[in-house]
Structure 1
Amino acid sequence: MKVYKFGGASVKDADGVKNLVHVLNTVGYKDTLVVISAMGKTTNALEDVIKNYFQKDPAFQSSIQEVKKYHNSILLDLFEDDSHEIFEKVDGLFNELKGFFDRNKSPDYNYVYDQTISYGELLSTTIVSAYLNQVGLTNTWLDVREMIKTDNYYRRANVDWELTGNLIREKVNPNVLNITQGFLGSDPNNFTTTLGREGSDYTAAIIAYCLNGESVTIWKDVPGVLNADPRYFENAQQLNKISYTEAIELAFYGASVIHPKTLQPLQGKEIPLLVRSFLKPTDPGTTVGRGIGLEPEVPCFIVKKNQILISLSSLDFSYIVEENISEIFRHLSTYKMKVDVIQNSAISFSVCVDDIYNNIDQLLQHLKAKFKVSCTKDVALYTIRHYSDAAIKQMESDKEVLLKQLTQQTVQMVTK
């Protein structure tokens, strides 16, 4: 079985949905499962809905209406008959969403986030499935929350692999075209969970792993995996082949094309990952597989914006020893910081973090009880894999380097 994943950019409007049909007709859809993300910027729009809900902002209802208006405009472009059952189904999903807010008593932002944000994927797959049926691509719509089971670590849930595998094998008919949602799962109480932003790639990998899939293809608006994000770097080059190990390294450091968790299950069963363009579906794109190195061998550039650099030293100028480092990491774990770089000397310790859960102020308060603390917000973390002197010089140009770290294959620098 083949697993295809289409992201939000590929289905951002009616033309995108029609192009998805073109891709399936071009490359084939026999024995295929399609994972689809929320349409366009719907996830961001639903995040605004959640923010307005918690802030009791008068714009709360209108922000839901904006999401509905956006999806209705796509419906009207796809379905000539406004009495088609899809209009009622979409209305039903929005009524469910409003009903959740009316009933909700939980003050837990992360729980509310996951229950709300999931409607982006439910809407997109419901619409795409109906359109595919209308144009003759008969398919089965599956609720991924009935297949991928997780713990209740909302917004970054952990998969129960044994139960998930059993459910996927039970519910997926590999001989038909299947449509399901990316990014979502459910906990033991059947509350919706999410796998982390950009987790739809991970969903595709989970399903392929559980079904012993032939391959996973991620369809994007770029020709394949590039050695740099063209939004931030000039002259980006396409990488034709990448080993699992190299791709995992790039994903770990923040390369945006592949989700960090996606590659681990695929590597376990040596399932190839293809990254191809939905604009040019016959082009080969990039292949990620076992033992195929990096082709071509060029430096790879990665940047992560909006990072926070925390520098610590002891209040009495004593050494930073194992006991101190253990305490620092305990606090970083407690406040759910994503650690990207660490560097320590005899009397200092620096760490660059991603404050996904907006806990930085609470973290700093605890650290200041034991350490002298300085904090620099809104820094950028640059990483170069397979660096050269010229690549480092290019990266440092016109930047204030706050921290720099080199290993045999990788250089990282935090800049302001």
Structure 2
Amino acid sequence: MAEIELPSPIVAKFGGTSVADFEAMNRSAAIVLSNPDVRLVVLSASAGVTNLLVTLAEGKEPEHRAFHLDEIRRIQYAILDGLNDVPVIREEIDRMLDNIAMLSEAAGLATSHALTDELVSHGELMSTLLFVEVLRQHQVEAQWFDIRKVMRTNDHFGHAEPEITTLKELTHHLLLPRLNEALVITQGFIGSEAKGRTTTLGRGGSDYTAALLGEALNAKRIDIWTDVPGIYTTDPRVVPNAKRIDEISFEEAAEMATFGAKILHPATLLPAVRSDIPVFVGSSKDSLAGGTLVCNKTTNPPLFRAIALRRRQTLLTLHSLNMLQARGFLAEVFNILARHAISVDLITTSEVSVALTMDTTGSTSTSASLLTTSLLTELSSLCRVEVEENLALIALIGNKLSQACGVGKDVFGVLDSFNIRLICYGASSHNLCLLVPGADAEQVVKTLHGNLFG
């Protein structure tokens, strides 16, 4: 059959809460069916399943394994029970649950990153099987597709990088023809390496999958459906009257994500930025509530766009008189950090000291956990080291901040009563960063939001 080029489709991605149970899956199915331009749907695992699988991969004792397996079975069976009689799907889910049990038993003997990825991948495989059946019971021709056939990656298990050229070729050869025939449902977060072993893409992996597929298919838009209706001026759980941002640029959204906003991960945006594909963020719980469109450029971008908060930060201060009118001290510090695979997040310097925080973006580590004994020992041979924990990073996201007048008054004029441990301003025109005691973080955010956003 000759391959027919589709007009630019919409790729829709649904997160874990959007496929958490039978009711949530039906809401998501209604969103898909409301727009005929949606031809490809990317799913996360049902909410809670990935965490349970990760725990199983840690090699728990048999009684703990049984508990977590039962919990996974309960979540998936609750969806199965909402469907009409589907013995074939129930059989397939049972087979996957047996696989999970077998792999978790193997993890109890000797765990590995490759085994973890194989185990964790079952969350997405099960949710997509169930969602296909939900759509079929809405009288829709839907097909299940194993994303590992096209999502080729390296073998960095746990944080694999896709091979973009191969992905595009395989997508056009294996996936595009299916989009002409039916609505296709596939998995986010997972892929496969050269030997066919399952890999995972790391944090934000399902969003990243949707964006990569959108780029490969030249999609007209990528829709990210989650549990909140868009991106807000700050976390509504901290500031209940935070305002939704109807339109935001890729640069602003990436800055927000980098500095702690959970709604999108920076890597998610890269394929969309490369191909200038807009990304819509909306709530599957209320699809009519609107959302946020992330695009290349916005009209009249404001000076202040949003406030992001990243908790559990650690400040490392290095003191040495050898810095005074000397060369090479900072180079040696950064050499040591590089040897320990530490990426610096924020940094300020004086004549005899350097203060910095570690960048944990895209990692499951905290900055505190990166400060190993061997790292501190090596740094101590060069200078005096002070470590301060339980801090919070507050980032003001905006446009042309380093070129604007009056920014200091708008920001610092209302923070007289707070202890600010570090300020980074001027290196980027899109952010101004403050490090404050963790206990003060929420009040600082509330104070700034009230002053800047009314």
**So what's the TM-score if we normalise by structure 2?**
0.81
> Equivalent of 1:240, from 242, 246, 253?
246
Give the letter for the 1:118 counterpart: S
Preserved contact between residue 255 and residue 430 of structure 2 (Cα < 8 Å): no
Give the letter for the 1:122 counterpart: L
> Equivalent of 2:163, from 160, 163, 167?
160
> Equivalent of 2:380, from 368, 376, 401?
368
CA deviation vs aligned residue, 1:128-155 (integer Å, no higher than 9, x gap):
1122123212211111122111112222
Match of 2:432 in 1: 411
> Equivalent of 1:32, from 23, 30, 39?
39
- Give 5+ residue unaligned stretches, structure 1: none
Runs of 4+ in structure 1 displaced over 6 angstroms?
none
Q: Aligned equivalents of 1:7 and 1:50: distance in 2? A: 22
SS in 2 for 1:59: helix
Shift of 1:338: 5.4
Q: Aligned equivalents of 2:61 and 2:339: distance in 1? A: 28
Give the letter for the 2:39 counterpart: T
Shift of 1:187: 1.9
CA deviation vs aligned residue, 1:208-228 (integer Å, no higher than 9, x gap):
111111110111222211111
Shift of 1:114: 2.2
Preserved contact between residue 246 and residue 293 of structure 1 (Cα < 8 Å): no
SS in 2 for 1:279: coil
**Residues 306-321 of structure 1 mapped to structure 2, 5 A cutoff:** 306-314=312-320, 317-319=322-324
Give the letter for the 1:160 counterpart: E
Match of 2:57 in 1: 50
> Equivalent of 2:117, from 102, 114, 118?
114
Residue 11 and residue 290 in structure 1: after superposition, are their counterparts in 2 closer, same or farther (change >3 A)? same
Q: Aligned equivalents of 2:53 and 2:409: distance in 1? A: 43
**So what's the TM-score if we normalise by structure 1?**
0.88
Residue 415 and residue 294 in structure 1: after superposition, are their counterparts in 2 closer, same or farther (change >3 A)? farther
**Relative to structure 2, which stretch is displaced further, 127-136 or 398-407?**
398-407
Residue 14 and residue 261 in structure 1: after superposition, are their counterparts in 2 closer, same or farther (change >3 A)? same
Residue 147 and residue 341 in structure 1: after superposition, are their counterparts in 2 closer, same or farther (change >3 A)? same
Shift of 1:273: 1.0
Preserved contact between residue 148 and residue 164 of structure 1 (Cα < 8 Å): yes
> Equivalent of 2:28, from 20, 23, 40?
20
Residue 234 and residue 157 in structure 1: after superposition, are their counterparts in 2 closer, same or farther (change >3 A)? same
RMSD of aligned residue pairs (Cα, Å): 2.8
Give the letter for the 2:425 counterpart: L
Preserved contact between residue 215 and residue 274 of structure 1 (Cα < 8 Å): yes
Q: Aligned equivalents of 1:323 and 1:24: distance in 2? A: 58
The yes-or-no answer on 1:250 pairing with 2:253 is no
Match of 1:392 in 2: 411
Preserved contact between residue 6 and residue 220 of structure 1 (Cα < 8 Å): yes
**Relative to structure 2, which stretch is displaced further, 296-305 or 201-210?**
296-305
Q: Aligned equivalents of 2:90 and 2:282: distance in 1? A: 32
> Equivalent of 2:18, from 10, 13, 25?
10
Give the letter for the 2:397 counterpart: R
Percent sequence identity over aligned pairs: 28
Higher relative helix content = 2
Preserved contact between residue 323 and residue 329 of structure 2 (Cα < 8 Å): no
Residue 244 and residue 391 in structure 1: after superposition, are their counterparts in 2 closer, same or farther (change >3 A)? same
Residue 334 and residue 108 in structure 1: after superposition, are their counterparts in 2 closer, same or farther (change >3 A)? farther
> Equivalent of 2:131, from 105, 125, 128?
128
The yes-or-no answer on 1:303 pairing with 2:314 is no
Give the letter for the 1:242 counterpart: I
- Give 5+ residue unaligned stretches, structure 2: 1-8, 402-406, 438-454
**Relative to structure 2, which stretch is displaced further, 98-107 or 205-214?**
98-107
